[in-house]
Each structure stands twice: as structure tokens, then as C-alpha cells.
């Protein structure tokens, strides 16, 4: 019984320390320049740009994204896109700037919208709005990471189809689809 109590106290202490570490990582404001990295399980690792974080006031963090030179410009669907092309797939950056570039520990949505992509086949010269890629971001002890979802980009391409009160943040839970990690080239996003 005594050993059981000692083990339980030890487990609770370890869990508490772990939670404090996570809270500290989340509470610490972001600042400075951080890389935007897309990767996959087979070891590919592409730094596609950087984010410059600064104090946004009122407990918020301002951000500015600058894409790297490995993002090539392609003219698709009668507009220019910055894209990263792999052997079988091309990812084209589709930033949505519906609101100020400000985030907080409990609201990463403006950054998620700013890091949206559309995928095409590597040789395609058009984009399909049904091939939207969305990284839902979360705070971790390693920084900010993104879990890939597929999304229909129609609310951004044709905003008049969205009710006026939702146009700033048009995506709803029903708009996200679990991404097939096997068919997506770079399903992991990290800000490091």
C-alpha cells in the first residue's frame, strides 16, 4: 500500500511538472523570426518561408509571413501563386487575409488562414478549389505544429456564397475532412 501511494505521488508530480512545462511554453509570447517547415514521414523537410512575430498589444502576437525563394511563382487559374513542386505534387500557397494578422494562445485562426494551400499534380497548370489544404495549428512544447485537413476553398474563392456574418471566418467544422496522409506530399507543418 505504501509503495502504491509513493508511486501515485510520483506520477502526479511528474504530470504536474509536465503540465507546467506545457503551460510555460504556451504562455511565453512568440517573438522574433521562425521558420515555416513542411515535412513528411519519409524524411523530406522543406523550409518554405519564415514568420516574424512581434508584440501585437493586448496579449496578442502580430505576425508577418515571408515566403522563401524555393517557392516558385506559377500563373494558375489566371492569377499568380507561390508554389513548391515535388515529384508528384505541387503545393500552392493560398493565404487568406480576412482580418488583422494577430494571434493569441487561444486563437491561432488568423495564422491558419494565412498558411492555407491548394494542391495540384506536379505538371498541372490549373488549381481545383476542392483540393484545399488546411493545417490546424496547436501549441506544443516544440512550438507550433499543424495537423493537415482537406478543405473546400469555395468560401474564399466565392465569398458571396457565405452569409455576411461569417465572411471573416467562413470555415465551419463541417468544412474539414480528414486528410489522407498517404496521398498528401507534405502533411506536417511546424513553425520552429
pLDDT(6) > 80: no
Residues 6+ apart with CB under 8 A from 116: 93, 94, 95, 96, 132, 133, 134, 135, 151, 153, 156
* 8 and 42 belong to one structural domain: no
Give 54-102 pLDDT, tens digit per residue.
999 999 999 999 999 999 998 877 788 999 999 999 999 999 887 899 9
The total number of structural domains in the chain stands at 2
Longest dimension (CA), the chain: 73
* 126 and 169 belong to one structural domain: yes
* 23 and 36 belong to one structural domain: no
Residue with the larger pLDDT of the pair 5 and 46: 46
Asked if residue 97 lies in contact with residue 112, where contact means CB atoms within 8 angstroms, the answer is: no
pLDDT(172) > 70: yes
Mean pLDDT of the chain: 83
* 60 and 138 belong to one structural domain: yes
Residues 6+ apart with CB under 8 A from 187: 40, 41, 148, 179, 181
Asked if residue 93 lies in contact with residue 71, where contact means CB atoms within 8 angstroms, the answer is: yes
pLDDT band at 152 (very low <50, low <70, confident <90, very high): confident
Q: pLDDT at position 28, please?
A: 57
Q: How many other C-beta atoms lie within 10 A of the C-beta of residue 146?
A: 22
* 116 and 21 belong to one structural domain: no
Torsional sign, CA 158, 164, 166, 169: positive
Q: pLDDT at position 29, please?
A: 59
* 1 and 90 belong to one structural domain: no
- pLDDT, average across residues 19-32: 54
* 185 and 112 belong to one structural domain: yes
Torsional sign, CA 146, 149, 153, 155: negative
* 11 and 93 belong to one structural domain: no
Q: By mean pLDDT, which of 63-77, 140-154, 164-178 is the weakest?
A: 164-178
CA distance 125 to 52: 31
CA distance 117 to 97: 13
Residue with the larger pLDDT of the pair 166 and 71: 71
Give 111-124 pLDDT, tens digit per residue.
999 999 999 999 88
* 16 and 50 belong to one structural domain: no
Q: In the chain, which ranges are continuous DSSP H helix?
A: 2-27, 109-114, 154-157
Domain interval for residue 172: 31-191
* 11 and 71 belong to one structural domain: no
* 89 and 11 belong to one structural domain: no
Q: pLDDT at position 182, please?
A: 85
E strands, the chain, where? 32-39, 45-57, 60-67, 72-76, 79-85, 89-93, 102-103, 117-121, 132-140, 143-151, 176-178, 188-191
* 19 and 82 belong to one structural domain: no
Amino acid at each position: 500500500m505504501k509503495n502504491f501511494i509513493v508511486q501515485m505521488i510520483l506520477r502526479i508530480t511528474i504530470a504536474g511538472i509536465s503540465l507546467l512545462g506545457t503551460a510555460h511554453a504556451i504562455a511565453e509570447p512568440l517573438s522574433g523570426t521562425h521558420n515555416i517547415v513542411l515535412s513528411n514521414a519519409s524524411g523530406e523537410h522543406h523550409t518554405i518561408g519564415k514568420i516574424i512575430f512581434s508584440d501585437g498589444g493586448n496579449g496578442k502576437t502580430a505576425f508577418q509571413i515571408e515566403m522563401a525563394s524555393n517557392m516558385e511563382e506559377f500563373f494558375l487559374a489566371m492569377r499568380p501563386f507561390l508554389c513548391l513542386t515535388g515529384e508528384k505534387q505541387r503545393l500552392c500557397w493560398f493565404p487568406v487575409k480576412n482580418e488583422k494578422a494577430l494571434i493569441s494562445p487561444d486563437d491561432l485562426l488568423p495564422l491558419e488562414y494565412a498558411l492555407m494551400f491548394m494542391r495540384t499534380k506536379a505538371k498541372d497548370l490549373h488549381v481545383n478549389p476542392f483540393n484545399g489544404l488546411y493545417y490546424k495549428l496547436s501549441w506544443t512544447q516544440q512550438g507550433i505544429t499543424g495537423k493537415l485537413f482537406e478543405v473546400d476553398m469555395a468560401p474564399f474563392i466565392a465569398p458571396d456564397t457565405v452569409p455576411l456574418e461569417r465572411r471573416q471566418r467562413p470555415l465551419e467544422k463541417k468544412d474539414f475532412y480528414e486528410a489522407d496522409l498517404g496521398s498528401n506530399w507534405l502533411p506536417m507543418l511546424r513553425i520552429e
